Structure 1
Amino acid sequence: MSTATDLPPAAGVRLAVQAHGITKRYGRTVALNQAKISIVDGQTHGLVGRNGAGKSTLVSILTGLQAPDEGTVAFGGEPAPPLGDRDAWRGRVACVYQKSTIIPALTVAENLFINRQSLTGGSLINWGRMRRRAGDLLAEYGVLVDPARPAAELTVEQRQLVEIARALSFGARFIILDEPTAQLDAAAIDRLFARIRALQHAGVTFLFISHHLREVYEICQTVTVFRDARHILTSPVADLSQDRLVDAMTGEAVGLRQVADRPAVPDSAPAVLAVSGLGLADQFTDVDLTVRRGEVVGLAGSASSGKVAVGEAVVGLRRPDTGEVRVAGQLIRPGSVPHALAGGIGFVPEDRHREGLVPLLSVAENGTMTIADRFGRFGAIAPGRRRAAAQRFITDLAVKTDGPDQPVAGLSGGNQQKVVMARALANDPVVLVLINPTAGVDVRSKETLLDVVDQAAASGTAVVIVSDELDDLRPCDRVLVMSHGRVVRTVARGWTDNELVAAIEGMTAQSAGQPGGGSDAGSGGSPAGAADVNVDADVSADESSGENSGV
């Protein structure tokens, strides 16, 4: 079945961008599989999808950073320019990324006209003329920033507007906004949206990528969903209920529940981890968290929610500005990893390559480094005792290795992650903090790692899982959802994929049936026309599984 945007545009309707049949592979990984998107000139078009859906890969193709293996891209009906013609690409499209490309050491004017400075006598920069040009450009697009101001002094909101103005100065009339609200407060978001609407009226087209679906309903006219590297759905926002949108993102039928197999933790179970009033500038504010003996609690949210920073503050990798962390009543020294370990916290970091492993050391050395003092006295280590301890975790976690002495760099990603998990468990922690514990591992390794979580909880360990991957969160007794540095909702066990994704994406369960609405009064039904949403018939559950894991 074709989507609405696959049909010829209505009379007088012009497509600003059209990508069709886009396939991109990285070795065995299929990042995009016959994906497509068509964006009407002058609209703000939303692009949504879970992590790995293929959104970032599409952006890199639409901005000319890489070519697709298959498929075509056109701007205004004309084929995209060759990759090497950067000036031609800049004249057609620009992307304002979540991580700013503004150079802090330069002024606003210098950032606007870098490598395009006004020259005097053929070689000298005419600074006055450049600042005047910058002032005219900023005024034209309603950006109230002093051109002579150092860029380092700009707010996040101002940097984004300067980047948009810079893109428009090249002649581009198609702007991609990648998570533009991630670091903005509510008032700044309102101002950004007002500027987007004003630029739309002036003929600028936007592709708006966000994990906050309420914002998609607020600012976008049309939305496209990617899932598992494929195009799933394109629909006018006004015709699409939020539950249908979340269903398209997850591929789950509403009502299918995933319940942890472990018995519920009784209210009488003692609190093991107590976090109160935890705050860190620009990361999170006033976070409270209590985890009881044998309980598994999840922290979920978008990349900018602050969830990872909270987990790292609990284990001492970050020093919070306010609040405290207690384990079994003992105060943990802020910002001290050794004190956190001594206090009974085990930890699996977000990035095993950067923070979790010493590549040149052996499997045994990596897995037991937190308990090296158990293998000898006065700093001496008995190799046989260490190898014996390593052999136990190799067996328990089914680590595929040539033996305890093999360098850990020689293991597959899944087996490396098992070694990191083994080290977190080595000192028999009373609290286990796991950040994205199954990232980049195969299905079998994921099952093993999550089985370990169940076993740890069954033995009485309090577990915190920081992730927004649904499989990681299934063992949780409850999930705390964070947004913009605050805990905004608690989701009890027994959630459906749709319910949890809706919470993470900024919607309440009560509003899941309301198209574009923010009301919490009742679930409602699908609006008229929602049943006519066009979904590609060639995308089946089987086709969306396997090795398609979009970048």
Structure 2
Amino acid sequence: MVSASRVGKRYGPTVALRDVSLTVTPGQSHALVGRNGAGKSTLVSILTGLSKPDTGTIEFGGEPAPPVADREAWRRHVACVYQHSTVIPHLSVAENLFLNRQSGGRFAISWRRLRAQARELLDSWGVEVDVDTSAGELSVEDRQFVEIARSLSYGARFIVLDEPTAQLDHQAIDRLFARMREMQAAGVTFLFISHHLREVYEVCQAVTVLRDAGHVLTAPVAEIAHAELIDAMTGERGGLTVADAAAREALASDVDEALVVDGLSGDEFDDVTFSVRRGEVLGLAGSNASGKHQVAETVYGLRAPAAGRITVAGRPLKTGDVPAALEAGIGCVPRDRHHQGLVLGLSIADNATMTVLDRLGPGGIAAPGARTRTARTALSEYDIVAAGPDQAVSDLSGGNQQKVVLARALARDPGVVVLINPTAGVDVKSKGALLAVVDRVRADGKAVLIVSDELDDLRLADRVLVLRGGRVVGEHDAGWADGDLVADIEGVELDV
């Protein structure tokens, strides 16, 4: 279907790809994995015609790839569905499917024909959405299927899926994988990019690993062990080591409560009550529609509750107020680092010191020396790989960006730390480093509230509360089995 042979790419002094080869056979789901900065994005930009390789060749079906300037020819060969949707939210599904290709006369659009063509296209691939619906009203899952259908309408049968499950819950992921298998059977080929190695084993037949801009291995998924795959990605033996709360001593019963949530109700959750003691980690689990994210965001002041109260270190918290949460001693790693956690146009130093400007100079005006020292300390303590504190955070890999967000959350030495999907979109090595910091924070006596879709993240928790339909429906002590927790999240009974 597609072949990249000895492809190389440089950006100034930076080697983005070094002599990389990749072959994807028709009807296959082929995984492309590697740490952030390994070269995956550069290879995808070359395979989709957005960049021209400095060395090497690209072929589709044995024929040379079109010139980079011929966008229409590239669309007939390949398309990429990115983690962040490219549909235009204010246009209908039909308009998005045939943007700039609408049927009609010279100066008019035949809306009836456009809707009919859209319905026919979606029906042919089993995508069940209303063609008149505004694309912005679709679920993340349906937007992805619309983008895939749009790509297939050009004639492309090779689809790159870039972190397609990052914003999906378990049930939506199962539906995505079922549709992928159906499309494979109909002749569609996928290049599947993901940091979730369990998904690679579930849906892919082959895997290619990149590391440090080079090709490490390509192998059938059935023939490579999970640990071996992690070793190939990291260049080290041992894989991901996650501290498990079940292996540490239980917290003493007389330890003070650092955070108390009592009868909290708000957007998509109702009557939620829990407490977290100093040195304790509490996990919140559930589907994306469970209300777990909204609970955590309410604790940090990003949302105002409709009812209930929050107490921090024995004092009532003014809700719906982020500055009040900071002053009360709450730090937060928000759900979306790109839109909520970072100012991408600013430097590492600017981002890492945002919450402590009042401590670095009068009136919140930080002295340059104090700002630089604080930022350099963050680079060292959190192992942020960067050219220096003045480098723009937009230039960092996803894992290093997340470390900057964590550094800022901890800069004020908070007593309570709220972490929402703390390892989303980062590679296995960065995930291990981030979770090690969280475990260190817990050992220092801070209370940690961790909300995640990743079971590995929740291993740190002394207890995990399960939310379903906005209510707490279960509690699991450390040492829980994967099957039991997932069954509780999904609301199903396991056969005993």
Task: Compute the TM-score of the two structures, normalised by the length of structure 1.
Answer: 0.62
Which of 334, 358, 371 is the equivalent residue of 1:369? 358
Q: Does residue 204 of structure 2 align to residue 215 of structure 1?
A: no
**How large is the RMSD of aligned CA atoms in angstroms?**
5.8
Cα shift at 1:175: 0.9
Contact kept? 1:368, 1:423, Cα under 8 Å: no
Q: Does residue 208 of structure 2 align to residue 224 of structure 1?
A: yes
Cα shift at 1:233: 2.5
Q: Distance in 1 between matches of 2:270 and 2:17?
A: 37
Cα 1:358/1:304, change in 2 over 3 Å: farther
Contact kept? 1:278, 1:287, Cα under 8 Å: yes
Contact kept? 2:281, 2:442, Cα under 8 Å: yes
Residue 270 of structure 1 corresponds to which residue in structure 2? 256
**Alignment partner of 2:343: what SS?**
helix
**Alignment partner of 1:354: what SS?**
coil
Cα shift at 1:418: 9.1
Cα shift at 1:163: 1.7
Cα 1:275/1:358, change in 2 over 3 Å: farther
Amino acid at match of 1:165: A
Cα shift at 1:17: 0.9
Which of 230, 237, 246 is the equivalent residue of 1:246? 230
Where in structure 2 are the equivalents of 1:83-482 lying within 5 Å? 83-120=68-105, 122-254=106-238, 266-268=251-253, 269-274=255-260, 291-294=276-279, 312-319=297-304, 325-346=310-331, 350=337, 354=343, 367-369=356-358, 397=377, 425=411, 429-432=414-417, 460-462=445-447
Identity of aligned residues (%): 51
Cα shift at 1:124: 2.0
Contact kept? 2:32, 2:191, Cα under 8 Å: yes
Instruction: After superposition, give the CA deviation of every residue in 1:32-79 in whole Å (9 maximum; x if it has no partner).
Output: 333332100111212233433332232222111222333322211122
Q: Distance in 1 between matches of 2:16 and 2:266?
A: 35
Q: Distance in 1 between matches of 2:231 and 2:290?
A: 23
Contact kept? 1:42, 1:203, Cα under 8 Å: yes
Q: Distance in 2 between matches of 1:337 and 1:129?
A: 50
Cα shift at 1:390: 5.2
Residue 2 of structure 2 corresponds to which residue in structure 1? 17
Which of 34, 38, 57 is the equivalent residue of 2:19? 34
Residue 30 of structure 2 corresponds to which residue in structure 1? 45
Contact kept? 2:39, 2:212, Cα under 8 Å: yes
Amino acid at match of 1:333: K
Q: Which moved more, 1:266-275 or 1:35-44?
A: 266-275
Cα 1:255/1:111, change in 2 over 3 Å: closer
Contact kept? 1:300, 1:480, Cα under 8 Å: yes
Amino acid at match of 1:327: V
Where in structure 2 are the equivalents of 1:488-503 lying within 5 Å? none
Cα shift at 1:359: 11
**Alignment partner of 1:254: what SS?**
coil
Cα shift at 1:366: 7.4
**Alignment partner of 1:91: what SS?**
helix
- Matched positions, count: 455
Q: Distance in 2 between matches of 1:355 and 1:320?
A: 30
Q: Which moved more, 1:181-190 or 1:417-426?
A: 417-426
Contact kept? 1:367, 1:423, Cα under 8 Å: no
Residue 62 of structure 2 corresponds to which residue in structure 1? 77
Amino acid at match of 1:339: A
Task: Compute the TM-score of the two structures, normalised by the length of structure 2.
Answer: 0.68
Cα shift at 1:167: 1.0
Cα 1:45/1:304, change in 2 over 3 Å: farther
Contact kept? 1:431, 1:461, Cα under 8 Å: yes
Q: Distance in 2 between matches of 1:24 and 1:287?
A: 52
Contact kept? 1:357, 1:420, Cα under 8 Å: no
Amino acid at match of 2:143: R
Q: Distance in 2 between matches of 1:125 and 1:364?
A: 53
Cα 1:336/1:161, change in 2 over 3 Å: same
Contact kept? 1:118, 1:129, Cα under 8 Å: yes
Unaligned residue ranges in structure 1 (runs of 5+): 1-15, 376-380, 401-407, 441-446, 494-502, 509-519, 521-551
Q: Which has the higher contact order (CA 8 A, sep 6+)?
A: 1
